[in-house]
Amino acid sequence: MIQTANLGYPRLGPRREWKRALERYWQGKLTETELHDAIRTVYRDALRRQAAFDLTWVPAGDLTYYDPMLDLAVTFGLVPARFREAYGYAGGPVSLELYFAIARGSDRVPAAEMTKWFNTNYHYIVPELDAVAAGRAPEIADNRPLQAYREAREVVGERARPVVVGPYTFVRLSKGYPEAAFAEVVRAFVPAYRALLRSLAEAGAAWIQIDEPALVLDVPAGDIALLHEVYGALVEAAAPAKLMLQTYFEAVEHYSDVVRLPVAGIGLDFVDGLADNRASVLRHGFPEDKVLGVGLIPGRNVWRADLEAQAAFLRELAAVVPFERMILSPSTSLLFVPISLERETKLDPALRDVLAFADEKLAELRLLARADAPDAEAEAAYRASAEARRRFFAAHPFPAPEAVTAEETTRAIPFEARKKIHAERFSLPLFPTTTIGSFPQTKDVREARARFRKGELDAEGYKAFIRAKIAEWIRIQEELGLDVLVHGEFERTDMVEYFAEKLGGFAFTEHGWVQSYGSRAVRPPIIYGEIVYREPLTVEETAYAQSLTEKPVKGMLTGPVTILKWSYPREDVPPEAIAYSIARALRKEVEALEAAGIRMVQVDEPAFREGLPLKRRHRDRYLDWAVRAFRLATAGARPETQVHTHMCYSEFGDIIDAIKALDADVISIETSRSHGELIQAFEENTYDKEIGLGVYDIHSPRVPDVEEMKALARRALRVLPKENFWINPDCGLKTRDVPETIASLKNMVAAARGLRAELGER
């Protein structure tokens, strides 16, 4: 059999034990010792579950209390200066209090920046390397990878393979140094990485997986010499352990140079990077002194693999790389899929038969590992997987998309004309205040929803409960003095799942949770068939909220790109076809909201930047259809309707033109943790529409004061016209509690009023 390895496993636990332990600790319901015990139990269970699939190598490194990038930063003692000062940190192991303060913020200091991990919906904590750039050499302060490896070795023995993010990727994804100093900063990490790898080798690691996904980005040719220099030093320090340099999410750049790096193995993604990686291996060969990591089981979607096609691909590959020099794996960590189908008893059996979550993918891996010498049983299993997929997709055809015309994607009049209409219609003050959409999903909301789903609360009772919550929060918003209100989204479990439940073509799991950031988990729907608009999605609750106030209430929709990206889409249908189909359904909902008297409609696209291809040469095509999908959903709005959108943490500088092309009247952007970087983007690119840059971080429990919010706004106003500027939190408030939400919004309104006094009420 071919050797097998997993690259990473979901952290949440089968019943979200990891999430619950963290949240109980933050609530003061678990002691530090109890938290350690709970996390260790989840980690050990995950190791045992993986080992049960006869993996040659089991990843050791998923034992995180929040995020692996943060873990590696504190391993090297890289605590940002403001946290060192606030917590008196002088080196050595980082306390849990300080660790969580960096991740979530505290009363003493705002949280560190958080952004998307490549083109996924997972968010990582961005390390800050100011001290390294200033000449402070990183060193081992708290060897968390070693602790995780020792824990794993106790459970799975010599099969444990440590997983560490490599120095090239770690520095590339960090901040706090000038771009010109990149190579110098990477070199500064070499001694610390050498010490880390040496410690793992001395503890018994035979192989060490060192993740370098940044090698699939547009790597400058000049970085190749740097990589050879760095890895030459690391390989020597790690001996006798072997290094598996692992890439994923796309094909590697500079293939011929990368495969000559002095490591024992190179892992390639043959799912998302199939075409280019396959062509490179077949055209250029593969070094005889290395093992090829073959990432062939899809790690980011939940469809059962076509094992027949994959087995054929492996045999094709074996003409270049013998089976004995392959290590078969998923294409990425399995962090992006739920743990197991075992408890999914309510799915349509025909659909369930063509799905594979993490455990099922490891079972597929075990089966595919027999491709070097398949017996009749294996061959039959390969055929069965392919036939099941073909049969299901044929039974649920996805129609070819209708042509999207220029007329459908163009507002009736241009923005400047609409702006004048809106100014007269709404008479908003300078720096209008609003929120992004959701308000706290408190215990009573969750309990009422659970009782309704169990049949313990009838439809009328549940509707009355939701209306009472809407009325309560309309009153609160008016008392706070917000200018544009929202209904609060109390009826919604999730901003994608809620819409998917009301549209045809989606299926839902009961327990298919995946991590988004920290303890935040989402349950992505599965797109299995044609998208159908059956009935109004949001009109009843929005219209009721509007009936309670004279102020405008925004209709709140999730955009087509985000619904697509935060679902598990069909693999056999082009993504733009699905996006257009969703957009046409949302277009009908915009019309229904307008007919009900709603004057503002917000179509959120937090995944817009996330979907951007990792390689620049592929980006124009994506941006073309993503912009077209958004405009297809919104361009039918009447001129007097103000269209808003919202986007999440991302680097926006390279898509400013696409954001302009959306032609939304108002955009709000989640920026409080990365405000400076975004302001720089607007310094370099003009933006002529209305915009709200989040003035406080909703992912943190801290309540920022008025001056802090005003300072963030002032910085933005250096490059944005005051007449176009809105004041808002940087995301929805669903995960916050009521007292901190009210306190933060009170300060936010006060900040807006203070700015009006300073800069002139219009």
Catalytic positions:
699
731 is annotated as contributing to ligand binding: yes
Distance of CA 416 to the CA centre of its chain: 34
Nearest of 179, 262, 298 to residue 680 by alpha carbon: 179
361 is annotated as contributing to ligand binding: no
661 exposed, middle or buried (CB, 10 Å; 0-12, 13-18, 19+)?
Answer: middle
E strand or H helix that includes residue 441:
none
726 is annotated as contributing to ligand binding: no
Instruction: Give the separation between CA 244 and CA 267, rounded to whole angstroms.
Output: 7
654 is annotated as contributing to ligand binding: no
Tokens of 614: 């990792």
Amino acid at 320: V
Sign for the pseudo-dihedral over CA of 548, 549, 550, 554: negative
Break the chain down into helix, strand, coil percent, rounded to 5: 45, 15, 40
379 is annotated as contributing to ligand binding: no
19 is annotated as contributing to ligand binding: yes
Tokens of 447: 């309990």
Cis peptide before 178 (omega within 30 of 0): no
* Cross-strand pairs, 690: 666
Query: Cβ(268)–Cβ(295) under 8 Å?
Result: yes
Query: Cβ(661)–Cβ(627) under 8 Å?
Result: yes
697 is annotated as contributing to ligand binding: no
280 is annotated as contributing to ligand binding: no
Query: Starting from the edge strand earliest in sequence, which strands make up the sheet with 160-165, in order?
Result: 3-4, 326-330, 291-297, 265-269, 242-246, 207-211, 160-165, 58-60
Strands 666-669 and 642-647 come out as parallel
Half-sphere exposure of 653 (CA within 13 A, CB side): 11
Tokens of 306: 């076509």
For 660, the 3-state DSSP assignment is helix
Query: Cβ(678)–Cβ(723) under 8 Å?
Result: no
17 is annotated as contributing to ligand binding: yes
Instruction: Give the separation between CA 8 and CA 223, rounded to whole angstroms.
Output: 27
436 is annotated as contributing to ligand binding: yes
447 is annotated as contributing to ligand binding: no
272 is annotated as contributing to ligand binding: no
478 is annotated as contributing to ligand binding: no
Rounded to 5 degrees, φ, ψ at 691 are -155, 145
Binding residues: 16-19, 116, 121, 436-438, 489, 566, 604, 610, 646, 648, 670, 731
Binding residues for 5-methyltetrahydropteroyltri-L-glutamate: 16-19, 116, 121, 566, 610
Binding residues for L-homocysteine: 436-438, 489, 604
Binding residues for L-methionine: 436-438, 489, 604
Binding residues for Zn(2+): 646, 648, 670, 731
